[in-house]
Structure 1
Amino acid sequence: MKLFLSSMVIIILFTIQDLKSQEFWSLDDCLNHALEKNIQLKRQELTSKISKNNFIQSLVDVAPDLAGFGRHNLSSGKTVNLEDYTYINTTFYDGYIGTQSQLTLFNGFQKINAIKQSKFNLLGSIQDIDRIKNDLVLNITGAYLQILFNHELLEVAKGQLEVSEQQVDRTSKMMELGRISKGELLEIQSQAAAEKLNATNAQNQLTLSYLTLIQLLRLDSIGNFRIIRPANLEMDKGVLITSVKSIYEYAEKNFPQIKSAEYNLRSLEKGFAIARGQRSPQIGLIGTLYSRYSELARDPFDPASTYAVNKQLNNNLYKQVSVNLSVPIFSRWRVQNRISNAKINVLDARYNLDQNKQILYQEIQQAHTDAIAALEKYYSSIETVESREEAFNYSQQKFNVGLTNSVDYNIAKNNLTRARSDLLQAKYEFIFKSMILDFYQGNPISL
């Protein structure tokens, strides 16, 4: 007795330790982790930062540029002395230094449109971040619910296996008493073996669903990872009250895939305006500040003294302001082709926006239809399960007293198993679709 108690204590301690080592994650835990670790999301955030840099650059491009230049020469041999234009043969140094600034006054509004285009690109990239987040939330939620569904399927399979194993024991005793034939026992044993396989398959499906979730979460292995199973999943039937049209109208105005497509269209429209601006004359303002020095130069006020370089630069200072006009006449059709391609891109962006709206509407319509169908199936499955349970209980009682054969008993049992599976499937199908509809209305997903 003491040995038995010691063994039980050891088993309980090991069980408690195993439970402590397991990590239980809620749906919120999974969503927060995925949003933090997802590579696609991180890459899109980097893309958005690049778009922000491009937008800042387009603002700065309106300002004038400024460049410095200079040159120092060491010459030897025959040349012309630029100071007095005499012919000399000697070794000397000279050079120049200066700065130049250019400002675009008009270029067909290309820079203004470039600012608007880069702004729309930035806004679109931000919406792409939200789009990836939404996709990730739906994928994680679907994987989480699939685990819950497979958990319950496994419990059904284990429950049916337990009933079959009990029936095998009962049938063996009945055969020993001569109340049934050996064939009846073999039939029941065969059913128990089949249900053991069903339980094994259900366990494998549960493991695979866990694998799907941990891959979305970018975890190393399944290990001790487990999800928290809610005590009671509510079926929010109120979500079906809202029509498909109303849900779509909200989603069209607020969902990132539509906003991203709209910003992409507006960006390409500005790109078209930029291309057309290349036909316009371009006017620019150029300012130049320049000076030179030479070893051969002489101070006009004191020719005998050394003419310092800094003094030469000050005395030789040259200033110039000019207006530059450029009129495009013929560019081998490059400008026209750019305009034509930009126009095509705008048309394609409009089609893309319409397609995204159509896809969004179809997704909402499909989710709404699936939710209604799942709810109807759920109610029908409840009635089916109740009738199958009564039929099975009746068949089991008849079999136990030898009034029915094992074939009819197994049929009743299998019908009950299928009915329970259909009920679970309808339940989780409705929960997931109703959560999608709720999500499209701007409500956060939660269990």
Structure 2
Amino acid sequence: MHCGLCCNASIIINQKTMFYRLFLVVLLGVSFLKLNAQEQSKSLNLEQSIALALANNLDLKTADLNAETEAIRYKQSRNALLPGLNADYNLGLSNGRSIDPFTNAYVNEQLTYSNAGLSLSATVFNGFRLLNTLKQSSLNKAAAVMEHKEAQQNLILDVTLAFLQVLNSRELLKLAQSRVLTSQEQLQRLAKMQEEETGDPAAYRDLQGQVATDEASVAEAHNNLKNAVTSLETLLNANVNINADELTLLLDFQEREDTAAAIYEEALLNLASVRAKELRLEAATKGVVVARSQYSPEIRVFANLGTNYSSAARVFDDAGTQLKQTGDFVTVSGTEYSVFTEENLFDASTISYTDQFNNNLNSTAGVSVSIPLFNGFQAKNAVQLQKIEKDQAKLNLEQTKLSLKQNIQQAYNDTEAAYIRLTKLTEQEAAFEDSFRINETRFNLGVSTSVEYLISKNKLDNARINLTTVKYEYVLRNKVLEYYKGGVN
């Protein structure tokens, strides 16, 4: 019986040894391939990661574009205060019956014509619509700047949390790997005892199962680490491959001394999302004033300068006189004589393009007044829509403040709870370390069973996992509170 068990144990040990060797070869091969494929692998601290994200993140670039758009709209509103100056020039060819622009008479010939004009217009008064629109655009521009800052703050927080998640996953992977080594050492010890026919087969099989469980935990932890690294790399969008083993961050486990109410007051003053909503409300309020200006008359001044050219235009010079029969007759002494008249003669010559443009100059200037009498209630509806937009902006601000207060209080409560758990789990780890050391010694001496050993080992392993998790949870929640105060350090 013992020989059979010994033989089976030896076969199992050899199989396990071959499996570990194969696993190490594959792992080294994959590591070598990754080393060659990821030549841009980079060691980063938190500040460097944030800097990369701020320079390359796509969501932040979208916020940049929104801010640029509002800046251009502000320029448009500002430039609308300037007078309008326009020039026009036309040159054409006409065939057949048309109006000569020089004489305003009908002609039936090929005609080359040209005209030029310069017009000036300016708004003197329109219910201060332009000024209020400029103020509204200025507020929207400032709101867009705040929204860009909000996007920056959110990105910094996201990068910080992703960075901490990588560190947490890395520590959990190290714990899982340490658990495997501890279990494998015990398995090797029991295997030798099996060879010497002094071991307990049930204990050996228990350790085999524990090793398999621990190896599965390593695989899961390794996958979680890869996913955490991928999330961080996506936020950075910097074409770098992050080496999780080289990420560094100083962790602070000091208890907070501020209060949720104090953090909320700082958030109202410093958090960009609150200021952005306040500016949007101010802009919407100004929008109501802009809409009401449609009830006011509009006064504009204008001036125009124009000239024209026509190829049919001629100038006539005096060329003397000549006698011309009129077709009438007079009878003198029975003889008919033709009646002649003296006719002036003129030489026609074309007028040059430049002379016509100089001679045909004309100008106008005046004032126009537009008084709104009835426009299908467009002004009334515009005012009502702007009031609704103002009310919506007010609700958005109130909702932001309410959610902010609730989130801060919840985050503060979670931080306090995490600190208490951190304290208690530190005590628990120390207690389970002592308990495991005693149980391991007893198990090695054969005093206790494998069940007692595994229970003690699992308690210690779980305590270490829980302690590691709560450490990063506490740091994470502190970072969230710093974000609410207006910045993440």
Whether the TM-score (by the shorter chain) exceeds 0.5 is yes
What is the aligned partner in structure 2 of residue 163 from structure 1?
Answer: 182
What is the aligned partner in structure 1 of residue 438 from structure 2?
Answer: 394
Structure 1 counterpart of 2:243, which letter? F
Map Cα deviations across residues 134-187 of structure 1 (whole Å, 9 max, x no partner). Answer: 111111111111111112112222222222112122233445566553112211
Structure 1 counterpart of 2:296, which letter? S
For the pair 1:280 / 2:296, whether they are aligned, the reply is yes
Map Cα deviations across residues 284-319 of structure 1 (whole Å, 9 max, x no partner). Answer: 111111233444545599875544443333333222
What is the aligned partner in structure 1 of residue 428 from structure 2?
Answer: 384
Structure 1 counterpart of 2:409, which letter? Q
Per the TM alignment, residue 430 of structure 1 is displaced from its structure 2 partner at its CA by: 0.7
Map Cα deviations across residues 322-369 of structure 1 (whole Å, 9 max, x no partner). Answer: 111111222223222222211111111111111222232233222211
- The total of aligned residue pairs comes to 429
d(CA) in 1 for partners of 2:431, 2:420: 17
Specify whether residues 87 and 272 from structure 1 end up closer, same or farther in structure 2 by C-alpha distance, changes over 3 A only.
closer
- For structure 1, the 5+ residue unaligned runs are 1-10
What is the aligned partner in structure 2 of residue 243 from structure 1?
Answer: 259
For the pair 1:341 / 2:359, whether they are aligned, the reply is no
Given candidates 54, 64, 69, the residue that maps to 1:35 is 54
Structure 1 counterpart of 2:277, which letter? A
Per the TM alignment, residue 225 of structure 1 is displaced from its structure 2 partner at its CA by: 3.0
User: Where do residues 290-439 of structure 1 align in structure 2 (5 Å cutoff)?
Assistant: 290-297=306-313, 304=347, 306-439=350-483
The answer as to whether partners of 2:102 and 2:309 remain within 8 angstroms in 1 is no
d(CA) in 1 for partners of 2:217, 2:352: 100
Map Cα deviations across residues 217-261 of structure 1 (whole Å, 9 max, x no partner). Answer: 225574x63353448522232xx2111111111121221111211
The answer as to whether partners of 1:107 and 1:283 remain within 8 angstroms in 2 is yes
**TM-score, length of structure 2 as denominator length:** 0.80
Specify whether residues 330 and 408 from structure 1 end up closer, same or farther in structure 2 by C-alpha distance, changes over 3 A only.
same
User: Equivalent residue of 1:204, what SS?
Assistant: helix
Structure 1 counterpart of 2:244, which letter? R
Per the TM alignment, residue 189 of structure 1 is displaced from its structure 2 partner at its CA by: 1.8
Specify whether residues 86 and 330 from structure 1 end up closer, same or farther in structure 2 by C-alpha distance, changes over 3 A only.
closer
What is the aligned partner in structure 2 of residue 126 from structure 1?
Answer: 145
Per the TM alignment, residue 62 of structure 1 is displaced from its structure 2 partner at its CA by: 0.7
Structure 2 counterpart of 1:161, which letter? V
What is the aligned partner in structure 2 of residue 7 from structure 1?
Answer: none
Per the TM alignment, residue 264 of structure 1 is displaced from its structure 2 partner at its CA by: 1.6
d(CA) in 2 for partners of 1:102, 1:183: 100
User: Equivalent residue of 1:62, what SS?
Assistant: coil
Q: Which moved more, 1:262-271 or 1:97-106?
A: 262-271
The answer as to whether partners of 1:180 and 1:402 remain within 8 angstroms in 2 is no
**TM-score, length of structure 1 as denominator length:** 0.87
Structure 1 counterpart of 2:252, which letter? E
User: Equivalent residue of 1:150, what SS?
Assistant: helix
Structure 2 counterpart of 1:261, which letter? K
The answer as to whether partners of 1:236 and 1:434 remain within 8 angstroms in 2 is no
Map Cα deviations across residues 36-84 of structure 1 (whole Å, 9 max, x no partner). Answer: 1112222222222222222112111111111223444545555677777
Structure 2 counterpart of 1:118, which letter? S
d(CA) in 2 for partners of 1:174, 1:217: 53
User: Equivalent residue of 1:25, what SS?
Assistant: coil
d(CA) in 2 for partners of 1:84, 1:397: 122
What is the aligned partner in structure 2 of residue 4 from structure 1?
Answer: none
d(CA) in 2 for partners of 1:23, 1:438: 27
For the pair 1:259 / 2:259, whether they are aligned, the reply is no
What is the aligned partner in structure 2 of residue 172 from structure 1?
Answer: 191
d(CA) in 2 for partners of 1:59, 1:341: 24
Provide the aligned C-alpha RMSD in A: 2.9
Given candidates 105, 116, 129, the residue that maps to 1:110 is 129
What is the aligned partner in structure 2 of residue 233 from structure 1?
Answer: 251
**Larger % of strand: which?**
2
User: Where do residues 42-121 of structure 1 align in structure 2 (5 Å cutoff)?
Assistant: 42-72=61-91, 74-75=93-94, 90-121=109-140
What is the aligned partner in structure 1 of residue 8 from structure 2?
Answer: none
d(CA) in 1 for partners of 2:486, 2:245: 25
d(CA) in 2 for partners of 1:204, 1:75: 81
Per the TM alignment, residue 266 of structure 1 is displaced from its structure 2 partner at its CA by: 1.8
Structure 1 counterpart of 2:481, which letter? L
The answer as to whether partners of 1:289 and 1:317 remain within 8 angstroms in 2 is yes
- For structure 2, the 5+ residue unaligned runs are 1-27, 319-345
User: Equivalent residue of 1:97, what SS?
Assistant: strand
d(CA) in 1 for partners of 2:468, 2:109: 102
Given candidates 12, 24, 44, the residue that maps to 2:43 is 24
What is the aligned partner in structure 2 of residue 206 from structure 1?
Answer: 225
What is the aligned partner in structure 2 of residue 6 from structure 1?
Answer: none
Specify whether residues 92 and 425 from structure 1 end up closer, same or farther in structure 2 by C-alpha distance, changes over 3 A only.
closer
Q: Which moved more, 1:359-368 or 1:50-59?
A: 359-368
The answer as to whether partners of 2:153 and 2:488 remain within 8 angstroms in 1 is no
Q: Which moved more, 1:114-123 or 1:42-51?
A: 42-51
For the pair 1:270 / 2:314, whether they are aligned, the reply is no
d(CA) in 2 for partners of 1:232, 1:297: 91
User: Equivalent residue of 1:96, what SS?
Assistant: strand
d(CA) in 2 for partners of 1:77, 1:190: 106
